[in-house]
Amino acid sequence: MELVVDKSSKISGVVKAPPSKSYTHRGVIIASLADGNSKLNDPLYSEDTIASLETCEAFGSTIQNLKDQWVVYGTGGNLKTPQNVIDVKNSGTTLRLMTSLAGLAPNYSVFTGDSSLRTRPMQYLLDALGHLGVAAVSSRGNGRPPIIVKGGLKGGKASIPGNVSSQFISSILIAGALAEETVELQVTGEFISEPYVDMTRDVMEKFGVKADYNSSERIFTVKPHKYQPAEYTVEGDYSSASYLIGAAAVLDGELTIKNLFKDSKQGDKLILDIISQMGADVEIKDEEVIVKGNGEIKGINIDLRNAPDLLPTVSALGALAQGTTKITGVEHARFKETDRISTCAQELTKLGVSVKEKNDGMVIEGGVKSGVVESHGDHRLVMAFSLIGLRAGVRIKNAGVHDVSFPKYSAIMNKLGCNMLMK
């Protein structure tokens, strides 16, 4: 499918931010481990989160999918071995979080996914699990999926580099509560995307388990504990809302986005600071954000180490800004659905943008023209480059992948006054 985005001049209205993909993943996975029945209110229904739901069911949970609510009948930590190989499709979050949990099931579990997912690095997680009693290997011996996991999570001490994926840490913390012994996990090197681990600890605590963190020694500690059932409401997603926020910044008008919490632990809340620095007017309330733009933004220097998913959005905004935008701190964005530094640079160049690709980011000179770009099968590239289309006009190939995180994206944007057509 191709998304055709024509120039728009104004944006206005009130819209509810999509539910958080990250919190939905964590909510359904942790609820599936609880000793009882939980209710997950306002979950995101998308390809990635359904991958987590179906994987939880494969390990023994029963999940009733109602309108705006998932009722999760938890396993109490007594996971069963899946009957078949688990295909998580493109969901790296599902793969990484569930790999450690597979260590709680008897016998062997096997994970695979699409061609993009099979490029994701996993070896650091596999090595750490080995120290905790779990035999986990890459079937091809290259540290990437397919992954084979043999049950046997005992606990103990392990370490893991903090500069590849915070999901490795979250994975061990979630499973660690159900290990036979206390789990102590030390983070070595640079600790990137720490807010995502904070989100994990937040959801764990909602279900009755505390993961302690000694910041001076950089050690997480999780003692054996049963997850308790809970009723949990998923907050709005700043990652997905970044496209709505970005559109309001580059067009003339005012947009109110509900279900974005002022005290959210999401690292991508940084988008509000970014567009404010670029020149938009931002008003932050307890549970909503109001953005006013006049169609003009300026380039900035920004470190995205704790918000790597904002890279495509900020790169598109940089192309539309006056002056230079320098993005740093996101070498780990090369290990997402695509190498996002490389793919963003490639596609911006097609639109006449001057881009210098760096090891950990890029330097973008504002100035863009209309053209045709490719999504590379990455949902965030589709929505980020649609922002360029609002000002210059653009066609995005293979655009249907935005369903991974933001179903009905183009329909919602059209209701706000934008011109998008999916063909």
Residue type, 379: H
What are the residues facing 159 on neighbouring strands? 186
- The count of other CB atoms within 10 Å of the CB of residue 142 is 12
Asked if 41 and 231 touch (Cβ cutoff 8 Å), the reply is yes
End-to-end C-alpha distance for the chain, whole angstroms: 6
Whether residue 291 contacts residue 282, with contact meaning beta carbons closer than 8 Å, is answered with yes
The residues, ordered by sequence, that sit 6+ positions from 392 with a Cβ below 8 Å of its Cβ are 7, 320, 351, 368, 369, 370
From 48, 237, 268, 309, the catalytic residue:
309
328 within 8 A of 299, measured Cβ to Cβ: no
Indicate if 309 belongs to the active site.
yes
CA distance 161 to 169: 9
Residue 144 structure tokens: 């990437």
The interaxial angle of helices 166-176 and 21-31, nearest 10 deg, is 20
Tokens of 75: 């396993």
Run of H or E residues at 293: strand 288-294
Catalytic residues: 309
